[in-house]
Amino acid sequence: MSKARYDFEILIVGAGPAGIAAACAAAEIGKRVGVVDVVQAPGGQIWLGPDACEHDRKSAKWLGRLERCGAKLFCGATVVAQLREDVLLVETDEGSLELSWQKLVLATGARELFLPFPGWTLPNVCGVGGLQALVKSGLPVSGKKIVVAGSGPLLFAVADALKKRGAEVRCIAEQAPLSRVMRFGSSLLSHPSKLWQSLHTSTRLVGVPYRTGCWPVRAEGLKRVEIATLTNGQKYWTEPCDYLACGFGLVPNVELPILFGCALRGGVVQVNEQQETSVPRVFCAGEPTGVGGVDCALVEGEIAGLTASGKSTETAVLFGQRRRWHAFRRALNEAFRLRDELKTIAAADTLVCRCEDVSFGRLREFSSWREAKLQTRCGMGPCQGRICGGATHILFGWDMESVRPPVLPSCIETLATAGELTEAKSVK
Ligand SMILES: Cc1cc2nc3c(=O)[nH]c(=O)nc-3n(C[C@H](O)[C@H](O)[C@H](O)COP(=O)(O)OP(=O)(O)OC[C@H]3O[C@@H](n4cnc5c(N)ncnc54)[C@H](O)[C@@H]3O)c2cc1C
């Protein structure tokens, strides 16, 4: 495998909305900017796939700006470790890269939160965003019966996308009670673009039952899911389905910030008003600082990019916008906070860590993530706790105490030969 090294003034991890905004802000000033993303094309989770621009003027605007701004893009490139204080180790299909930086912007986004219940490991029980990604990359769902369950506005967006592609969406089961969903709806009055978007989506979803205060408790089937059992806490009923798409919100990807020693509070990275973390020269923007949606990510990314480029005086005009999206973020998190009943939907033999086959009953014997890990290997499989870590946080209140490289799965060769390069490639 080949190896190469590049030096950047500003290096950005993540080419989602936050990373794109940071890259444009910095590169348009003339800085030497690099952007790295695991995925094969920029856009992050929301603008994933070839049809993103066709449907959304915002994504077309930002992706076009990124293409023109002069930042060097490394797609299909995974940041796996910190090699030295200001050098990242990156794995690609062609070989490894060493990327050095003067300022670093971490814009690593979020992933879905899965909660275990009997049958959740059956084929065709998948994440809401996961199913959306599969459909965007060509999975046919026309005529398929699909139950969409969990929490948050993503359920709505995905049900809409599935219906558009001909799926029969049996129902949307939202765990939050109607009162909180209504309050969230009224808060959209101060965000007309979001209000318009949700009204538009609701019109397209006419005929699909939207059940609030309702959640999945069981999935059953022989070779794949065939029936989902739902409850509203009083009665139970079943829905026949070919897919059960479940997502209980998002978990910020904070492994890389933790590796750098950035301070966290309440599971999110702490930043000052310029988006700088507790570690000098390291910035953070978008979902790792709190799950707040695409507009919040964009404005935080822009502030981080400008400040990292030495233009902090130009960021003040963006503070008002960010304040408004932070209010939206608070309303979102309050409305879709998870109910306590979800802590009891796993049975004793339900797997929580599916990489290492560790059940809910076994984990109940321990009092911390560390203890459970040492005794059961929970969180020590290929996903390194990225799935069960979020679940055990909700089920038992456990937090990951530390993160070890590699932060994402990587080849032994990448790690073994790291640091052998001395000569840097020039970017411009
Ligand atoms: C599965 C999923 C589906 C979603 N679908 C929608 C939707 O349909 N509509 C909607 O409004 N919102 C959706 N969202 C929410 C949306 O992603 C956010 O609101 C917003 O776009 C966040 O932007 P971001 O830049 O902070 O993060 P993201 O867009 O998530 O971008 C982060 C990027 O960082 C990259 N990354 C992370 N770690 C590394 C690493 N170690 N090395 C290299 N790259 C790395 C990721 O590959 C990703 O592309 C979805 C979220 C998820 C998780």
In the reported structure, the alpha carbon of residue 110 is separated from the centroid of ligand 1 by a whole-number distance in angstroms of: 6
Q: Which atom of ligand 1 is nearest to the CA of 39?
A: 47
In the reported structure, the alpha carbon of residue 229 is separated from the centroid of ligand 1 by a whole-number distance in angstroms of: 30
Task: Check if 42 has its Cβ closer than 6 Å to any atom of ligand 1.
Answer: no
Q: Which atom of ligand 1 is nearest to the CA of 36?
A: 43
In the reported structure, the alpha carbon of residue 127 is separated from the centroid of ligand 1 by a whole-number distance in angstroms of: 14
**C-alpha span between 127 and 248 (Å, rounded):** 9
**Which residue CA neighbors atom 26 of ligand 1 most closely?**
286
**Which residue CA neighbors atom 2 of ligand 1 most closely?**
129
Task: Check if 52 has its Cβ closer than 6 Å to any atom of ligand 1.
Answer: no
Detail the DSSP E strand segments found in 175-279: 210-212, 215-220, 227-231, 236-240, 243-247, 250-252, 264-265, 268-269
Please report where in the chains the tokens 């059956």 appear, as a residue. Answer: 122
Task: Check if 256 has its Cβ closer than 6 Å to any atom of ligand 1.
Answer: yes
State both tokens at 3.
């190896």
**Which residue CA neighbors atom 41 of ligand 1 most closely?**
79
**C-alpha span between 165 and 149 (Å, rounded):** 18
Q: Which atom of ligand 1 is nearest to the CA of 158?
A: 8
In the reported structure, the alpha carbon of residue 64 is separated from the centroid of ligand 1 by a whole-number distance in angstroms of: 18
What's the pLDDT score for residue 57? 85
- β partners of residue 265: 268
pTM as predicted: 0.94
Task: Check if 174 has its Cβ closer than 6 Å to any atom of ligand 1.
Answer: no
Q: How many helices (H) and strands (E) are present in the chain, helices listed first?
A: 14, 21
In the reported structure, the alpha carbon of residue 109 is separated from the centroid of ligand 1 by a whole-number distance in angstroms of: 5
Task: Check if 408 has its Cβ closer than 6 Å to any atom of ligand 1.
Answer: yes
Task: Check if 410 has its Cβ closer than 6 Å to any atom of ligand 1.
Answer: no
What's the pLDDT score for residue 52? 56
**Which residue CA neighbors atom 8 of ligand 1 most closely?**
46
Task: Check if 29 has its Cβ closer than 6 Å to any atom of ligand 1.
Answer: no
What's the pLDDT score for residue 356? 97
**Which residue CA neighbors atom 31 of ligand 1 most closely?**
16
Please choose, from the candidates 257, 253, 296, the residue with its C-alpha nearest in 3D space to the C-alpha of residue 279. 257
Q: Which residues of the chain fall below pLDDT 50?
A: 54, 422-428
The SS3 call for residue 87 is strand
**C-alpha span between 387 and 355 (Å, rounded):** 9
**C-alpha span between 235 and 247 (Å, rounded):** 22
End-to-end CA distance of the chain: 24
**C-alpha span between 149 and 164 (Å, rounded):** 18
**Which residue CA neighbors atom 19 of ligand 1 most closely?**
293
Task: Check if 218 has its Cβ closer than 6 Å to any atom of ligand 1.
Answer: no
CA distances in angstroms from 412 to 1, 37, 79, 377, listed in the order given: 12, 20, 14, 21
Task: Check if 250 has its Cβ closer than 6 Å to any atom of ligand 1.
Answer: yes
Task: Check if 294 has its Cβ closer than 6 Å to any atom of ligand 1.
Answer: yes
Task: Check if 390 has its Cβ closer than 6 Å to any atom of ligand 1.
Answer: no
Mark residue 384 as left, alpha or beta (left: phi above 0; alpha: psi -120 to 50; beta: remaining): left
